[in-house]
Amino acid sequence: MNPYLTHYRCALCGRTYALDAVMYTCPHCGAVGTLDMCYDYAALRRAVAPDALEGFSLWRYAPLLPVSAPEHFPPLHVGWTPLIGATRLAAALKLREVWLKDDSRNPTGSLKDRASAMVVARARQLDVSVITTASTGNAAAALAGVCASVGMRAVIFVPAKAPPAKIAQLLVYGATVLLVDGTYDDAYALSLQASAEYGWYCRNTGMNPYTTEGKKTAAFELCEQLAWRAPDVLIVSVGDGNILAGQHKGFYDLHQLGWIERMPRLIGVQAAGSDVLVRAWEDGTSADAVQRGGTQTIADSISAGLPSDRAKALRAVRETGGAFVRVTDAEILAAIPALARLSGVFAEPACAAAYAGLLKAVERGLIGSDESVALLITGSGLKDIGGAMQSVAEAGGYPVGRDFAAVHEVVRRLGLL
C-alpha cells in the first residue's frame, strides 16, 4: 500500500483504526461511520511535487492514492477528463466563470469509473476473485467495465426499474446481474448480505472507503486544470453522498499539501423526492440521527432513501460553508436541454440536477456574480434516453418528406434564410 497512508478515521466519531484492523466501516458506529483514509501530509509534501506527476489518467496521482503500485492498476483508461469553460452559460447567469468537469467522458460514461478503478485495484491487491455492488446503474456499469478489463467477476444487484441502457451495459460487460424488485436501498441490503455470506469483496458506495479515494481524483484534476487553483464553488448532485464526500476529500488533501490556497464551498443538489440530506442540513440533524426518506425521482442515480455516506456528505457542506438545495423533477428535466444548449454537454437527469441546482443557488444569492463556479458532470445523457426524450417532449422534428419545397418552407418559418 501507499507508504504515506497511515490509518483510518471514522467520519462520525473520530476513532482511528490501523489499516489492517477494519475492512469497511467503523466498528463502533456501524454503517453510518464511513471511514476517511489518512495520510502523512508532511512527508508527502517533502516527497511529492505537483510538477513531478506523470501520465494522464487518475493514476497520475498514485502518490496520493491508497493503491500506488502500477501492477495493480486496471488497464482501462479512467480519469483526466476535460474541463470545459462554459462561457455562454456563465454569461447567461451573469457569473464570472463557469467550468464543467465532464466525467461523462470516462469509459463507461460516468464518474463512477474512478471509484471502480480504485476498488478493483484494491481487489487485485487482495487477490480476490469476485466483487459485488448495489447500484441504480452507473456504479454497476463502472464496476462491470473495469472488472472486464482485468478478467474479474462482478455480481451486480440493481433495481429492475433502472434505465434499460444501464442494464444493457452490465450485460454487455458480462456481469452477473440480479434484478431486484425494489429500490436501490433494497438492492444495497441484498448485496451486503451476499458479501457477508459468500466472502465477496463489496464495492458499495461509501461503505468501501476506496470509493471516496477514487472519486477524489476528479477534484485533483479540476484544480490542476485550473493551474492549481480551486473554484470558489463546486456544485455536485447528491444521492448516497459519496461523490460530494470524494470532492471534499480531494480538496482537503490538496490544501493539506499546500497545492491549493483554499477550499471551495460545496453545494449539494438533491431531487425533491429524495432529499433526506437537504432536510438534515436545514434542520441541523446529525448524520447518525438522519431518518430514511423518499426515493421518488426521475433522476435514478441520485435516488437514495438513506444515503450511505451521509456523515461525510453533511460534513463536506458544513465545513466549507456550503449548502444543500433541492430541485423538482420538472426542474431537472428542463435542465437537460438547457445545459446542452448553453454548453454542448448532454447530461443524464441526475447530472442535470446539478445545473438546476446552480440556477436555484444563483436565484437565492448563494453564489455571487464575481465568483467562479464548477459543475461536476457525473453521467452521460446517453445513459437515460427515456429521460432525455421526456425533457424535449414538446419539441420534435419537422416532417418534410422528399420535397425540397417543404424544406424551404420550414427554413422560412424558422427565420433561417
**Radius of gyration for the chain, computed over Cα atoms and rounded to the nearest angstrom:** 21
Grid cell 452521460 is found at 380
Q: What is the rounded CA–CA span in Å between residue 70 and residue 364? A: 46
pLDDT category at 278 given cuts 50, 70, 90 is: very high
Which tens digit of pLDDT belongs to each residue from 363-416? 999 999 999 999 999 999 998 888 988 999 877 788 998 989 999 999 999 999
Backbone angles phi, psi at 145, to 5 degrees: -65, -45
Residue count of the chain: 417
Q: 3-17, 34-48, 128-142, 355-369: lowest mean pLDDT where? A: 128-142
Strands (E), 124-253: 130-134, 153-159, 176-180, 201-202, 233-237
- Alpha-carbon distance of 55 to 48, in angstroms, equals 15
User: What is the model's pLDDT at position 366?
Assistant: 97
The vertex-244 CA angle with 239 and 247, nearest 5°, equals 155
* Domain over 83-109+209-391 is classified CATH 3.40.50.1100: yes
Cα 340 from Cα 249, distance rounded (Å): 29
Kindly report the number of other CB atoms within 10 A of residue 283's CB atom: 10
pTM of the model: 0.95
Per-domain residue ranges of the chain: 83-109+209-391
Average confidence score pLDDT of the chain: 95
* Residue in 211, 152, 180, 183 with CA at minimum distance from that of residue 25: 211
The pLDDT > 70 percentage for the chain reads: 100
Looking at residue 224, its pLDDT comes to 98
- Using left for φ > 0, alpha for ψ between -120 and 50, and beta otherwise, residue 326 falls in beta
Query: What is the rounded CA–CA span in Å between residue 279 and residue 80?
Result: 34
d(CA 249, CA 241): 12
Least confident of 138-142, 230-234, 261-265: 138-142
Quick one: pLDDT band at residue 163, thresholds 50, 70, 90?
confident
pLDDT of residue 384: 86
pLDDT at 358 over 90: yes
Neighbouring CB atoms inside 10 A of 33's CB total 21
